[in-house]
Structure 1
Amino acid sequence: EAIRGEGFDVLNVRELAQGASDENVFELAMKQKRVLLTFDREFGNIFIYDIKNSFGVVIILIGQLKKEEIIKYTTTFLKSELAKNMKKKLAIIGKKKVRIRSFL
């Protein structure tokens, strides 16, 4: 909700497909041409998920972050130039930095 409040078009999997497998969540993001925003590191596994043909995957490393910090780091990234074109990219948002890998 907080990210929606910042003006982003966000869908929550719990609203659409609660109980869906990770594979189904990834397929849904691809069908809807959406960037997949997740806390689940498994979505970064290029042997399971076809990131090079996706609209992007953003993994948020929550660690010991508070909810407010997660919202802050996520919205800051989404507003940045780095997030403008996430197609074929994997971004990992941590407390100190954002790493982006392109799959061409």
Structure 2
Amino acid sequence: MRGAGHDVLYIAEFAASLSDVEVMALASREGRLLLTADKDFGELVFRRSQTVPGLILLRIDPDNAQLVRVRLLEAVGQFGQGLFGRYVVIDEVRFRSRPL
């Protein structure tokens, strides 16, 4: 995503010890979308009323980095700024989206 010109913070690079709630708080403070492969974030948002500007859940094998990149760029192209305020699930063939 950085290579495509997107401003990306990768938690593992600078704060790997943050809890999920702390990661969400950071995303909220900085007005960032949260991109994850961890379904627990959806639980925090929908069942525990945690907030985040936007949540993207990747349901693609992380070993298939090329497909992950392609699908992410397609999602950004399709939704653009509309990713904010939404929960978007990205899999190999479709996007599912709902308001947060």
- With the length of structure 1 as denominator, give the TM-score of the two structures: 0.83
2:84 to 83, 87, 95: 87
Task: Say if 1:90 and 1:102, in contact at 8 Å, map to a contact too.
Answer: yes
In structure 2, the partner of 1:30 is: 28
The correspondence for 2:55, drawn from 49, 57, 74, is: 57
Partners of 2:31 and 2:5 lie apart in 1 by: 18
Gaps of 5+ in 2: none
Q: Tell whether 2:93 aligns with 1:99.
A: no
> TM-score, normalized by length of structure 2?
0.86
* Pair 1:25–1:64, CA change in 2 (3 A): closer
Distance 1:20 1:47 in 2: 21
**Structure 1 consecutive aligned stretches of length 4 or more whose deviation exceeds 6 Å:** none
Q: What is the aligned residue count?
A: 98
Determine whether 1:6 maps to 2:1.
no
Q: Distance in 2 between matches of 1:41 and 1:26?
A: 13
**% identical aligned pairs:** 26
Does the aligned pair in 2 maintain the 1:43–1:49 contact within 8 Å? no
RMSD, matched Cα = 1.7
**d(CA) in 2 for partners of 1:78 and 1:16?**
25
Q: Deviations over 1:28-81 (max 9, x none)?
A: 100111000111111112113534xx310001002476111111111221222x
